[in-house]
């Protein structure tokens, strides 16, 4: 597991009050009982953690843990070292 | 008002005296100084044992802790959820979240404010969260003002008497944060004559219950009417002043009664003060079987008197 | 129980500063939506709102909400023909969402960052919601009991329902009741962060609706007992027949998608008024223009009204969402609909949404026989309130 994945997992775990093991990469966050407001909160915490901002478009693609990690990693990679 | 058939079947409180009505009624040694009476080291999550507490403001957590006790441990709200009302009184519980919201916007820009913090700036958030946490799907009301915790109990009695609900969780909450402490500190305790405090205090009132402390009367009015209110409430309850066993007040102490002021134990808890007085009076009535009285007579705003009858089971 | 009647109306709104202007705008589609002037909206996803232009504050040391409420209250008391002695004895019941938040909202960024000790002492507690009631009463010379109801977006209905109870239970002869909110940058920011702001217009029930347009204002109604009105020779404009409250107990901001709480509030109101759903001739909807609200609202209407295709419109297309004032604006619109026998339309309607189809009276007013109206409001915290108004008896 990459460090980004484990950090994002920790954020989701804290905000959504879930055990880290419950957070599966497939299936939507909504399936885990994470409502839309919590999803926005998770996005805000990720933005804070890494110092970037998700665009309106990107926010719409964050409905699963897997896509959240993927997009976060992609933005970090794009930002360069 | 007609309060026939209304009984208090549960009480709950959290204050500087500690968690629970037991702590309120056998408080620790009162500090000799004028420091704010804060609730320290509160493990709300541990006490409540529920998920979904993370977005709650401090005031909502205090309200939840007190409401949980009133509903019984583990909190088990009676009856059909849609027949359970919730009525909350407060003065300042929206100020801290409002300040923090603005502070975050100032520090980090409006685009980084956490959206989950927005509902907390709206003063009905506490009633909203109590409804969600304890399954209260009947009428939900929030009253604002210095005596609002006791006003809320009066409003709950109305809802029950009018048949709009069968149970009501009613009371008040106030929390001490930067804005309120600074505001009261620099304005010389505001209109109060002692240090501020923070608290949550709630009654569970039931319609048609056979056990519990009977609600005998409720009277309220503007400040100009405060001297008549006690007489009016006693008349409605069919009681003489000397029949009242325990009397508690927040704000002015009504004359002609053996009144203890709740502020001496908890500090001035704003909107929660009258509800704390009601909890203490209900506890007194339950223990002694004698009538009891709670008053909220703040220096401004609505004044309220609540009378409990004899014969609590 | 005695009948609770309305004998005076007063409004300060983005589409009219008196009831005639307000009603004319509702029928002609004059919107209050325009670029926000009171703060810089760069960095926000939207820049439009429904501010009240050219409002003259009293010049007293009170906040904008109290000023708005007092201005509306002054008009209502005037229309009701109340002399000074009668005013003094009038109670006040006012609903609000943000209270008097203008003080906290006025603090500069440097002070906010430095903390509460950097802010003027006298302003620290002034943003408390109770100030709206106390200051409005003082401005109007009202000496009766003052109640402030923090009912969020349903606050107007809460205040009017409570006033009706006070009158019907004989606890007050006369109450000035309504709702108010001043344009709040905090609310605008909050709705922006929730993704709830419309990009260019409020389109209730329309397939292309995309959110709310935040507004402000105040509306106040004089509610009194029939006996009191008759004794003064005051003409009742309408009666408050009943109201109902419920809680979703679902989510702090999202409505129950099945509209369960909304159904219960409507049925509780009908029960309180002793009426069946078929008696309702017009429904003034909450109709904020968010995808979620409007969908849930139509679902609830389908459950309550079934085959009774009562026209249901939202005036928020023109007024925006004035939060605490919203259902008070809508109560005024309902009284005027009863007086004028015309249903105000839902403006800005482009096309029906198959997920929330109803007769929403799109884009043109409709003459109708209107004896009984229902006004619905749904708030944060899942607080639902439905109010029923009828032609006065006799």
CATH number of residue B257's parent domain: 3.40.47.10
pLDDT at B1: 38
Q: What is the CA radius of gyration of chain A?
A: 12
Instruction: Please name the residues between 171 and 230 in chain B that touch chain C, using a CB distance below 8 Å.
Output: 178-184, 186-187, 190, 220-222, 224
Q: What is the CA radius of gyration of chain B?
A: 18
Do B234 and B269 lie in one domain? The reply is yes
Predicted confidence (pLDDT) at residue B131 exceeds the cutoff of 70: yes
Distances (CA, A) of B72 to B77, B222, B281, B286: 8, 35, 19, 16
Q: Which one of A36, A56, A59 has the shortest CB-CB distance to C254? A: A36
C45 close contact with A: CB closer than 8 A:
yes
Do B114 and B156 lie in one domain? The reply is yes
Closest residue by Cα to residue C285 from C389, C364, C204, C371: C204
Distances (CA, A) of B78 to B282, B312, C235, C248, C253: 19, 19, 46, 17, 26
Q: Rounded mean pLDDT of chain A?
A: 89
Predicted confidence (pLDDT) at residue B312 exceeds the cutoff of 70: no
For residue C145, list chain B residues with Cβ-Cβ distance below 8 A.
Answer: 220-222, 302
How far is Cα C265 from Cα C261, in angstroms, rounded to an integer? Answer: 6
Do B50 and B162 lie in one domain? The reply is yes
Please, which residues have CB within 8 angstroms of residue C260's CB and are 6 or more apart in sequence?
C248, C250, C300
- Interface touch A40/C252, C-beta < 8 Å: no
Question: Where on the phi/psi map is residue C182: left (φ > 0), alpha (ψ -120 to 50), or beta?
Answer: beta
On whether the CB atoms of residues C174 and C90 are closer than 8 A, the answer is yes
For residue C253, list chain B residues with Cβ-Cβ distance below 8 A.
Answer: 118-119
Do B153 and B116 lie in one domain? The reply is yes
Number of domains present in the structure of chain C? 1
Closest residue by Cα to residue C150 from C122, C128, C126: C128
pLDDT at B270: 95
Closest residue by Cα to residue C155 from C99, C107, C194: C99
Residues in chain C: 394
What the block records as the tokens of C47 is: 């820049």
Element (H, E) at B6: strand B6-15
How far is Cα B36 from Cα B268, in angstroms, rounded to an integer? Answer: 9
Mutate one of C43, C191, C193 to test the A interface: name it (highest A CB count within 10 A).
C193
Q: Domain end: B207, B223, B257, which one?
A: B207
Residue B33 forms part of a structural domain: no
Closest residue by Cα to residue C27 from C262, C252, C336, C325: C336
How far is Cα C376 from Cα B164, in angstroms, rounded to an integer? Answer: 18
Greater pLDDT, A47 or B28: A47
pLDDT at B212: 94
What the block records as the tokens of C139 is: 């401005």
How far is Cα B15 from Cα B24, in angstroms, rounded to an integer? Answer: 7
A37 close contact with B: CB closer than 8 A:
yes
Residue B146 forms part of a structural domain: yes
pTM of the model: 0.96
How far from chain centre, in Å, is Cα B243? 25
What the block records as the tokens of C68 is: 């708005």
Q: Which one of A17, A41, A53 has the shortest CB-CB distance to B114? A: A41
Q: Domain end: B207, B238, B258, which one?
A: B207
Closest residue by Cα to residue B11 from B30, B1, B31, B25: B25
3-state secondary structure of B143: strand
Mutate one of A44, A48, A52 to test the B interface: name it (highest B CB count within 10 A).
A44
Number of domains present in the structure of chain B? 2
How far from chain centre, in Å, is Cα B256? 25
Q: Which one of B52, B54, B114 has the shortest CB-CB distance to A44? A: B114
3-state secondary structure of A61: coil
Question: Subunits that touch chain C (at least 3 Cβ pairs < 8 angstroms)?
Answer: A, B
Q: Which one of B51, B112, B115 has the shortest CB-CB distance to A48? A: B112
Distances (CA, A) of B242 to B28, B217, B229, B251, B290: 30, 16, 16, 21, 11
Q: Three-class SS string for chain C?
A: CCCEEEEEEEEEECCECCHHHHHHHHHHCCCCCEECCCCCCCCCCCCEEECCCCCCCCCCCCCHHHHHHHHHHHHHHHHCCCCHHHHHCCEEEEEECCCCCHHHHHCCHHHHHHCHHHCCHHHCCCCCCHHHHHHHHHHHCCCCCEEEEECHHHHHHHHHHHHHHHHHCCCCCEEEEEEEECCCHHHHHHHHHCCCECCCCCCCCECCCCCECEECEEEEEEEEEHHHHHHHCCCCCEEEEEEEEEECCCCCCCCCCCCHHHHHHHHHHHHHHCCCHHHCCEEECCCCCCHHHHHHHHHHHHHHHCCCCCCEECCHHHHCECHHHHHHHHHHHHHHHHHHCEECCECCCCCECCCCCCCCCECCCEECCCCEEEEEEEEHHHEEEEEEEECCCC
* Series of mean pLDDT values for 10-residue runs along chain C (394 residues): 95 96 98 97 95 96 97 97 90 97 94 92 91 97 96 97 95 96 97 94 98 98 96 96 94 87 97 98 98 96 97 98 98 98 98 97 98 96 95 89
How far is Cα C50 from Cα B145, in angstroms, rounded to an integer? Answer: 29
Do B102 and B191 lie in one domain? The reply is yes
Instruction: Please name the residues between 322 and 351 in chain C that touch chain A, using a CB distance below 8 Å.
Output: none
pLDDT at B74: 56
Q: Domain end: B207, B242, B277, which one?
A: B207
Predicted confidence (pLDDT) at residue A35 exceeds the cutoff of 90: no
CA distance C21 to chain B (A): 31
pLDDT at B2: 41
On whether the CB atoms of residues C137 and C153 are closer than 8 A, the answer is no
- Interface touch C158/B106, C-beta < 8 Å: no
- The domain containing residue A44 runs over which residues? 3-79
pLDDT at B303: 97
Share of residues in chain B with pLDDT > 90 (%): 83
A22 close contact with B: CB closer than 8 A:
no
On whether the CB atoms of residues B116 and B60 are closer than 8 A, the answer is no
Residue B239 forms part of a structural domain: yes
Residue C357 forms part of a structural domain: yes
For residue B52, list chain A residues with Cβ-Cβ distance below 8 A.
Answer: 17
- Mean pLDDT value of segment B222-242: 95
How far from chain centre, in Å, is Cα B169? 10
Q: How many CB pairs under 8 A join A and B?
A: 19
Greater pLDDT, B110 or C317: C317
CA distance C254 to chain A (A): 8
Residue of B nearest to A49 (CA): B112
Q: Rounding to the nearest 10 degrees, give the CA dihedral for residues B197, B304, B241, B290.
A: -70
- Mean pLDDT value of segment B154-180: 96
How far is Cα B218 from Cα B157, in angstroms, rounded to an integer? Answer: 8
Number of domains present in the structure of chain A? 1
On whether the CB atoms of residues C379 and B142 are closer than 8 A, the answer is no
Closest residue by Cα to residue A68 from A17, A35, A20, A24: A24
CATH number for the domain that contains residue C13:
3.40.47.10
Q: Which one of A37, A47, A48 has the shortest CB-CB distance to B115? A: A37
Do B148 and B227 lie in one domain? The reply is no
B54 close contact with A: CB closer than 8 A:
yes
- Interface touch C254/A37, C-beta < 8 Å: yes
Mutate one of B52, B56, B122 to test the C interface: name it (highest C CB count within 10 A).
B122
How far is Cα B235 from Cα C22, in angstroms, rounded to an integer? Answer: 48
CA distance A33 to chain B (A): 11
Do B66 and B164 lie in one domain? The reply is yes
- Interface touch B183/C252, C-beta < 8 Å: no
CA distance B39 to chain C (A): 21
Residue C394 forms part of a structural domain: no
Predicted confidence (pLDDT) at residue A28 exceeds the cutoff of 50: yes
B115 close contact with A: CB closer than 8 A:
yes
How far is Cα C104 from Cα C99, in angstroms, rounded to an integer? Answer: 11
- Interface touch B222/C380, C-beta < 8 Å: no
Residue B1 forms part of a structural domain: no
Residue C280 forms part of a structural domain: yes
Residue of C nearest to B301 (CA): C146
- Interface touch A37/B116, C-beta < 8 Å: yes
Closest residue by Cα to residue C236 from C246, C244, C228: C228
pLDDT at A1: 66
For residue C45, list chain A residues with Cβ-Cβ distance below 8 A.
Answer: 56
Do B201 and B238 lie in one domain? The reply is no
Of C93, C321, C334, C356, the catalytic one is C321
B256 close contact with C: CB closer than 8 A:
no
Of C202, C286, C334, C356, the catalytic one is C286
For residue A40, list chain C residues with Cβ-Cβ distance below 8 A.
Answer: 193-195
CA distance B230 to chain A (A): 48
DSSP per residue, B197-225: B-EEEEEEEEES-SSSEEEEEEEEE-GGG
pLDDT at B170: 98
Distances (CA, A) of C350 to C201, C317, C362, C376: 11, 12, 9, 23
Question: Subunits that touch chain A (at least 3 Cβ pairs < 8 angstroms)?
Answer: B, C
Which residues of A lie inside 8 Å of C (Cβ-Cβ)?
A: 35-37, 40, 56, 59
CATH number for the domain that contains residue A37:
1.10.1200.10
- The domain containing residue B70 runs over which residues? 6-27+42-207
B288 close contact with C: CB closer than 8 A:
no
Q: How many CB atoms lie within 10 A of CB C371?
A: 13
What DSSP character marks residue B268? B
Mutate one of A30, A33, A37, A53 to test the C interface: name it (highest C CB count within 10 A).
A37
**Strand pairing category for B199-207 and C48-49:** unpaired
- Interface touch A37/C193, C-beta < 8 Å: no
Instruction: Please name the residues between 73 and 112 in chain B that touch chain A, using a CB distance below 8 Å.
Output: 111-112
How far from chain centre, in Å, is Cα C301? 20
C153 is catalytic: yes
Do B143 and B264 lie in one domain? The reply is no
How far is Cα C224 from Cα C176, in angstroms, rounded to an integer? Answer: 9
How far is Cα B293 from Cα B308, in angstroms, rounded to an integer? Answer: 6
- Interface touch A37/C253, C-beta < 8 Å: yes
Residue of C nearest to A37 (CA): C194
Q: How many CB atoms lie within 10 A of CB C350?
A: 13
- The domain containing residue C341 runs over which residues? 4-389
């Amino acid at each position: 597991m990459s460090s980004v994945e484990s950090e994002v997992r920790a954020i989701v775990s804290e905000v959504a009050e879930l055990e880290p093991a419950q957070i599966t990469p497939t299936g939507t966050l909504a399936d885990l009982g994470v409502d839309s407001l919590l999803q926005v909160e998770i996005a805000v915490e990720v933005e804070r953690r890494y110092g970037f901002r998700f665009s309106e478009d990107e926010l719409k693609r964050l409905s699963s843990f897997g896509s959240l990690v993927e997009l976060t990693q992609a933005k970090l990679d794009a930002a360069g070292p | 008002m007609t309060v026939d058939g209304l009984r208090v079947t549960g009480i709950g409180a959290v204050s500087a005296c500690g968690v629970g009505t037991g702590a309120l009624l056998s408080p620790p040694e009162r500090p000799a100084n004028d420091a704010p009476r804060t609730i320290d080291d509160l493990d709300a999550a541990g006490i409540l044992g529920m998920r979904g507490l993370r977005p709650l403001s401090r005031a909502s957590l205090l309200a939840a802790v007190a409401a949980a006790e009133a509903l019984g441990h583990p909190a088990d709200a009676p009856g059909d959820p849609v027949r359970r009302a919730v009525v909350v009184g407060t003065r300042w519980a929206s100020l801290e979240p409002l300040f923090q919201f603005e502070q975050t916007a100032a520090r980090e820009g409006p685009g980084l404010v956490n959206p989950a913090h927005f509902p907390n700036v709206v003063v009905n958030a506490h009633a909203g969260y109590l409804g969600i946490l304890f399954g209260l799907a009947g009428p939900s009301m929030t009253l604002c003002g210095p005596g609002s915790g006791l006003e809320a109990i009066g409003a709950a009695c109305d809802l029950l008497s009018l048949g709009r609900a069968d149970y009501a969780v009613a009371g008040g909450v106030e929390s001490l944060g930067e804005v309120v402490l600074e505001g009261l500190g620099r304005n010389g305790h505001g209109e109060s004559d002692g240090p501020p405090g923070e608290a949550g205090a709630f009654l569970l009132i039931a319609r048609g219950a056979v056990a519990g402390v009977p609600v005998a009367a409720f009277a309220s009015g503007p400040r100009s009417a405060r001297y008549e209110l006690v007489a009016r409430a006693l008349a409605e309850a069919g009681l003489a002043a000397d029949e009242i066993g325990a009397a508690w007040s927040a704000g002015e102490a009504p004359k002609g009664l053996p009144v203890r002021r709740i502020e001496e134990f908890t500090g001035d808890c704003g909107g929660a003060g009258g509800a704390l007085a009601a909890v203490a009076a209900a506890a007194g009535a339950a223990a002694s079987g004698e009538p009891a009285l709670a008053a909220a007579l703040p220096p401004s705003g609505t004044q309220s008197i609540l009378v409990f009858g004899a014969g609590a089971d | 129980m005695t009948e609770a009647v309305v004998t005076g109306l007063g409004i300060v709104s983005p589409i009219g500063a008196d009831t005639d202007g307000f009603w004319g705008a509702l029928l002609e589609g004059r919107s209050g939506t325009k670029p926000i002037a009171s703060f810089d909206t760069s960095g926000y996803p939207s820049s439009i709102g429904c501010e009240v232009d050219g409002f003259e504050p009293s010049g007293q040391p009170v906040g904008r909400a109290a000023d708005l409420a007092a201005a509306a209250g002054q008009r209502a008391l005037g229309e009701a023909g109340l002399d000074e002695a009668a005013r003094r004895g009038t109670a006040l019941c006012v609903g609000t969402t943000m209270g008097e938040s203008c003080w906290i909202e006025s603090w500069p960024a440097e002070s906010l960052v430095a903390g509460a000790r950097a802010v003027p002492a006298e302003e620290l507690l002034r943003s408390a919601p109770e100030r709206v009631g106390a200051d409005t009463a003082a401005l109007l010379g009202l000496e009766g009991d003052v109640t402030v109801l923090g009912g969020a977006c349903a606050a107007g209905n809460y205040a009017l329902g409570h006033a009706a109870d006070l009158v019907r239970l004989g606890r007050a002869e006369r109450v000035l009741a309504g709702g108010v909110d001043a344009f709040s940058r905090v609310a605008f920011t909050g709705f922006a962060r929730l993704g709830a702001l419309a990009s260019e217009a409020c389109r209730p029930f329309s397939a292309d609706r995309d959110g709310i347009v935040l507004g402000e204002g105040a509306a106040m109604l004089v509610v009194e007992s029939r006996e009191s009105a008759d004794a003064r020779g005051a003409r009742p404009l309408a009666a408050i027949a009943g109201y109902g409250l419920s809680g979703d107990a679902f989510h702090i901001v999202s409505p129950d998608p099945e509209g369960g709480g909304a159904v219960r509030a409507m049925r509780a109101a009908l029960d309180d008024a002793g009426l069946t759903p078929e008696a309702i001739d017009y429904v003034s909807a909450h109709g904020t223009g968010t995808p979620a609200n409007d969908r849930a609202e139509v679902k609830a209407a389908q459950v309550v009204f079934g085959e009774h295709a009562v026209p249901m419109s939202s005036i928020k297309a023109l007024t925006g969402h004035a939060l605490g004032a919203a259902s008070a604006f809508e109560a005024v619109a309902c009284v005027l609909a009863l007086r004028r026998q015309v249903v105000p339309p839902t403006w800005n309607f482009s096309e029906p949404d198959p997920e929330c189809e109803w007769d929403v009276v799109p884009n043109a007013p409709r003459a109708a026989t209107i004896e009984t109206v229902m006004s619905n409001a749904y708030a944060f915290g899942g607080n639902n309130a439905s109010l029923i108004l009828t032609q006065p008896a006799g």
